[in-house]
């Protein structure tokens, strides 16, 4: 059975948890802002992404029920480039930094679990960066389209935005779009994208 951070909490700590609901597309954690809470996902999906200096968005993680985030900010006063937004409606528990750190001081098993989870995140992020760097324009395009489709925002996606998010010139984007259209994965008509083969396109959705 998979263990979750909340499974290590005693009743005194659980009483400190604050339950909160975030609507789809609502920001849970702002990049470059102070965050005083560790956040535990009860249900829903939250998207973690980095916005670089060129304005390109790179999704680095999808948090689901049982996962948590915001823990590294409690130990690091430096730059916090990651922003986390509700991918769907989300219910979460929030634990204030003071309560979080006081709990860890007296619970070695919880501390070991936290270190193991942080280490796992670092490894996964390193693997993701390597994976993204090796993807073709077509693969990055399908990854981007799958995310917008899952968010129900595909009708708002433009070629210009797609080129920015995929980080490729328009001519390369056009070639990749034509290839995907010929394979009956997507359609592009009247400057709007639509998904033809949902099963195949959603295979490109981030799974972590």
Q: Are residues 83 and 170 in the same domain?
A: no
Total count of domains within the chain: 2
Q: Are residues 74 and 173 in the same domain?
A: no
Q: Are residues 23 and 12 in the same domain?
A: yes
At 49, is the secondary structure helix, strand, or coil?
strand
In 107-208, which ranges are continuous DSSP H helix?
108-134, 137-150, 159-166, 170-182, 198-202
Pairwise CA distance, residues 4 & 8, whole Å: 7
Q: Are residues 55 and 95 in the same domain?
A: yes
At 109, is the secondary structure helix, strand, or coil?
helix
Instruction: Tell me, yes or no, whether 145 lies in a domain.
Output: yes
Mean pLDDT in residue range 14-34? 90
Radius of gyration of the chain (CA): 19
Q: Are residues 119 and 150 in the same domain?
A: no
What percent of the chain has a predicted confidence (pLDDT) above 90? 40
User: Which letter does DSSP use for residue 44 in this model?
Assistant: S
Q: Are residues 30 and 109 in the same domain?
A: yes
**Domain-terminating residue out of 111, 133, 155:** 133
Which pLDDT tens digit goes with each residue over 135-169?
788 988 998 898 888 878 888 888 888 887 787 88
**Domain-terminating residue out of 133, 158, 181:** 133
The pTM score is: 0.67
Q: Are residues 52 and 114 in the same domain?
A: yes
Pairwise CA distance, residues 30 & 13, whole Å: 25
Instruction: Give the range of the structural domain holding residue 51, as residue numbers without chain letter.
Output: 5-133
pLDDT at res. 56: 54
**Domain-terminating residue out of 104, 133, 162:** 133
């Amino acid at each position: 059975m998979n263990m979750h951070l909340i499974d290590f909490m005693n009743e005194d700590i659980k009483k400190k948890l604050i339950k909160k609901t975030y609507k789809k597309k609502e920001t849970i954690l702002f990049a470059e802002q102070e965050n005083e809470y560790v956040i535990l996902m009860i249900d829903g999906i939250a998207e973690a992404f980095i916005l670089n200096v060129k304005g390109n968005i790179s999704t680095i993680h999808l948090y689901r029920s049982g996962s948590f985030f915001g823990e590294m900010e409690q130990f690091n006063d430096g730059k916090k480039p990651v922003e986390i937004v509700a991918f769907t409606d989300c219910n979460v528990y929030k634990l204030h930094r003071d309560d979080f750190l006081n709990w860890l001081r007296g619970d070695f098993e919880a501390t070991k679990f936290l270190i193991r989870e942080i280490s796992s995140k670092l490894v996964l992020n390193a693997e993701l960066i390597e994976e993204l760097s090796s993807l073709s324009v077509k693969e990055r395009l399908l990854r981007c389209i799958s995310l917008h489709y899952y968010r129900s925002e595909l009708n708002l996606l433009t070629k210009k935005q797609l080129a920015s998010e995929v980080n490729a010139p328009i001519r390369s984007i056009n070639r990749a779009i034509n290839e995907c259209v010929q394979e009956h994965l997507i359609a592009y008509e009247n400057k709007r994208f639509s998904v033809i083969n949902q099963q195949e396109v959603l295979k490109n959705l981030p799974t972590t």
